[in-house]
């Protein structure tokens, strides 16, 4: 990370959404890991929830968090695989369409490149992705602890740090709702 010490750190509000049919708060190790890293980096954990793998349920909570102004960024974990129950990317597509937004294709591309270094060709099974919806960043990571570590430690920690150079997501926030 190219941190410019002359720039001020601006903490942001980040919500964590775990998508799982089997986990609860006690067994959600990837959500807990992500929450710990967010707070250790100096950001505010705006909210944390677990919902089942169901597009309307995921979209409803994302809509609530985005519409309520509770979060500057949302990070989901889980539901990015290829099985019939893995629907997080579809939910992100719906929230982007409903609230107006854009895909952030470089996030998924970079995530898979980083993941390849850890798990090899198995990374092709990941549909990690990101969108901008209603002026809020929404990132979808796979549900494993390794994926959360790769996504946060090697991408999001840097891009959600206002001191990161040459550019970062935080410095764009005041202009995300421009038309």
User: What is the predicted pLDDT for the residue at 178?
Assistant: 84
Q: Which fold has domain 13-173?
A: Molybdenum Cofactor Biosythetic Enzyme; Chain A (3.40.980)
Return the pLDDT at 1: 58
Whether pTM exceeds 0.95 = yes
CA proximity to 145, closest of 23, 13, 39? 23
pLDDT at 73 (0 to 100): 98
Provide the pLDDT for residue 40: 98
Regions of the chain with pLDDT less than 50: none
91: CB partners within 8 A, 6+ apart: 55, 58, 59, 62, 79
């Amino acid at each position: 990370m190219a941190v410019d010490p002359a720039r001020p750190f601006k903490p942001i509000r980040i919500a964590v959404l775990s998508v799982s049919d089997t986990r609860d708060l006690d067994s959600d190790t990837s959500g807990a890991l992500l929450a710990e890293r967010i707070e250790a980096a100096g950001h505010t954990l705006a909210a944390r929830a677990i919902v089942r793998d169901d597009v309307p349920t995921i979209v409803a909570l994302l809509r609530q968090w985005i519409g309520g102004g509770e979060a500057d960024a949302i990070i989901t974990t889980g539901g990015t695989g290829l099985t019939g129950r893995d629907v997080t990317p579809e939910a992100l597509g719906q929230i982007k369409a409903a609230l107006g937004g854009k895909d952030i294709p470089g996030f998924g591309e970079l995530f898979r490149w980083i993941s390849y270094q850890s798990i090899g060709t198995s990374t092709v099974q990941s549909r990690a992705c990101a969108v901008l919806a209603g002026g809020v960043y929404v990132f979808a990571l796979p549900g494993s602890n390794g994926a959360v570590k790769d996504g946060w430690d090697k991408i999001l920690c840097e891009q959600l740090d206002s001191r990161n150079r040459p550019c970062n997501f935080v410095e764009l926030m005041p202009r995300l709702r421009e038309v």
